[in-house]
Structure 1
Amino acid sequence: MKTTRYVHGYSGREARRLGDQADALADLLYEGTSYPEGSRVLEAGCGVGAQTVHLVARSPGARVTAVDVSEASLAQARARVAAACPGARVGWLRADLYDLPFGEGAFDHVFVCFVLEHLRDPCGALVALRRVLRPGGTLTVIEGDHGSAFFHPDSAHARAVIAHQVALQAAAGGDALIGRRLQPLLSDAGYARVAVVPRTVYADRARPVLAEAFTRDTFAAMVAAVRDDAVAAGLATPADWDRGIADLHRAAGQDGTFHYTFFKATAVNRPVSSRAGAGRGGPGRG
């Protein structure tokens, strides 16, 4: 699979951060997303199941199949869903998104959340997903864009650590700015009726729970987790890095504000008669 090295790591702390993020943003990101009873839904790149919990809870009658390239992450996902949604029927499978072991048109809907940013060839992955999505079926993609982060008090040190995280992810083959690219990516992959909407997170003293859960425990924690890699790469000194993280934490304080934009895209798989020539790449593209 043409993934990057997962720049955030696979620690227990990272699994908790992903859960905190999913819980804090569930209402914002899942608004308008639910699937009918009996519909076949593929969650592509389920990771530790942080999003699967919300997907299942909001579409209890859907037949969800969750796939990921990591067996260890799948084990955590099974446990998370079993604890949060007792009795939920989810199919779990270790699989490569570029070579999925399903027949053509096996699913009515595909859901992808915070996955494309970690792929070396996101367009190729989207083309591969079209193969298993029935004609007329829907695709939902949610991604962030670290370039949309701004905050008060402003801090050059805080902006620098965010830029260093973006650079590390790019060096590993990913794109932490991918949210702004969703429309052209889905169009180039051959999908029709592509629609992208921004979903903005804004936290200040009037939203203390969100400031803690997102600004501090999700975003700042995500950036803080790459400290050792950034220092080893010579991007920052330990002192400058720690100053930047401390300044991000100030944005979660009584006098702080924090803004970030996610992008949610929906699209439809073209009917078979419209597929010829659509898309610039396929599952085997390098």
Structure 2
Amino acid sequence: MTQQKYLHGYQDIEQERLRHQAAVIEKPIYDFVDFSNHKELLEIGSGVGAQTEILLRRFPHLLITGVEYESKQIAKAEANLNQLGYSPPQVRFIQQDARFLELEKKFDAAFICWVLEHISDPIQVLKSMKPHLLPNAKVVITEVFNATFYTFPLIPAIMDYWKIYNNFQVQIGGDPQVGARLGDLLEASGYSNISLRSGGFHLDSRNPEDKKTVFAYWKGLMSSGAPALLEEGLITSEQIQAMQNAMDELAKKEDSVFYYRFIQATATA
């Protein structure tokens, strides 16, 4: 089956950005995740292992199986985790399409982070995953809600770029607002005990260093889509530079504000 286009690409710089991103946003996500009473975890869309690293550091007893479609990401994940001292059977990566999983065993936990936004039919992934989970297995999913992104002051160079970025994700079959739909998607896929929480950032003059860090992280996130947007003729190099310069200006501005919310769902199989 032809792979769906991926907004961020698989360049070396993007693979490293994913690891940096995971570290920056670790606390807002993982301070509300608890797999301490689970043993075998299935991670869908494990990518370069950026989230896998955090899961193993926080829950070192876990045995993790990561499923990833792209072979380049698996090679990078294996190298990253091996460098940190992790290897099979504690962690292993399998190349499969998450919409059509064929796994040898069942798991008592599952984790998905920043994946469903890139998939045209997320319900197909959730339904494909369910038969491979034990009864009452814990499922944690964290997803984007890009309509919530706001800065003060509002700068057209940033917001115009953001609109193009999100529209392209829709064009290639993704959903930059999928976080808002997690409750319905899980219910339609047959999961139960579904709960949702909103997490993210609201940074202003009270936390200047955190604000600088998150503006730099977000600039990298937005820039990661630039090669694809350029290739498609949707944006110019000048627009990319203007966005990046504006993000740098906001990071330095004392009274600037950064606001963004993601959605985290917890459910049972």
**Does TM, scored on the shorter chain, surpass 0.5?**
yes
Q: Specify the alignment match of 1:97 in structure 2.
A: 98
Q: CA deviation at 1:87?
A: 6.4
Question: Could you say what the CA RMSD is over the residues aligned between the two structures, in angstroms?
Answer: 2.1
Q: CA deviation at 1:246?
A: 1.9
Q: CA deviation at 1:239?
A: 2.9
Pair 75,212 (structure 1): closer, same or farther in 2 beyond 3 Å: farther
1:139-150 equivalent positions in 2, closer than 5 A = 139-150=139-150
- Where 1:64 maps in the other structure, the secondary structure is strand
Q: CA deviation at 1:19?
A: 0.9
Q: Distance in 2 between matches of 1:125 and 1:3?
A: 14
CA contact (8 A) 1:161 1:245 kept: no
Pair 75,250 (structure 1): closer, same or farther in 2 beyond 3 Å: same
Q: CA deviation at 1:257?
A: 2.0
Q: Distance in 2 between matches of 1:87 and 1:69?
A: 20
Q: Specify the alignment match of 2:250 in structure 1.
A: 251
Q: How many corresponding residue pairs?
A: 267
Pair 132,202 (structure 1): closer, same or farther in 2 beyond 3 Å: same
Q: Distance in 1 between matches of 2:246 and 2:136?
A: 47
CA contact (8 A) 1:194 1:267 kept: yes
1:123-138 equivalent positions in 2, closer than 5 A = 123-138=123-138
Is 2:229 the counterpart of 1:230?
A: yes
- Where 1:251 maps in the other structure, the secondary structure is helix
Aligned residue identity for 1:81: L
Once the two structures are superposed, residues 52-103 of structure 1 have per-residue CA deviations (whole angstroms, 9 ceiling, x without a partner) of: 0001111111111111111211111112122335568212211221222225
Q: Distance in 2 between matches of 1:168 and 1:178?
A: 15
Once the two structures are superposed, residues 167-205 of structure 1 have per-residue CA deviations (whole angstroms, 9 ceiling, x without a partner) of: 111111111221111111111111111111001213335
- Where 2:25 maps in the other structure, the secondary structure is helix
User: Which consecutive residues of structure 1, in runs of 5 or more, have no partner in the other structure?
Assistant: 270-286
Q: CA deviation at 1:166?
A: 0.3
Is 2:265 the counterpart of 1:265?
A: yes
Aligned residue identity for 1:99: F
Between 167-176 and 207-216, report the one with greater CA deviation.
207-216
CA contact (8 A) 1:3 1:119 kept: no
CA contact (8 A) 2:38 2:108 kept: no
Percent identical residues: 26
CA contact (8 A) 1:21 1:213 kept: no
User: Which consecutive residues of structure 2, in runs of 5 or more, have no partner in the other structure?
Assistant: none
Q: Distance in 2 between matches of 1:206 and 1:87?
A: 42
CA contact (8 A) 1:203 1:215 kept: no
Pair 38,130 (structure 1): closer, same or farther in 2 beyond 3 Å: closer
Q: Distance in 2 between matches of 1:233 and 1:183?
A: 33
Q: Distance in 1 between matches of 2:47 and 2:5?
A: 14
TM-score by length of 1: 0.86
Pair 205,13 (structure 1): closer, same or farther in 2 beyond 3 Å: farther
Pair 209,135 (structure 1): closer, same or farther in 2 beyond 3 Å: same
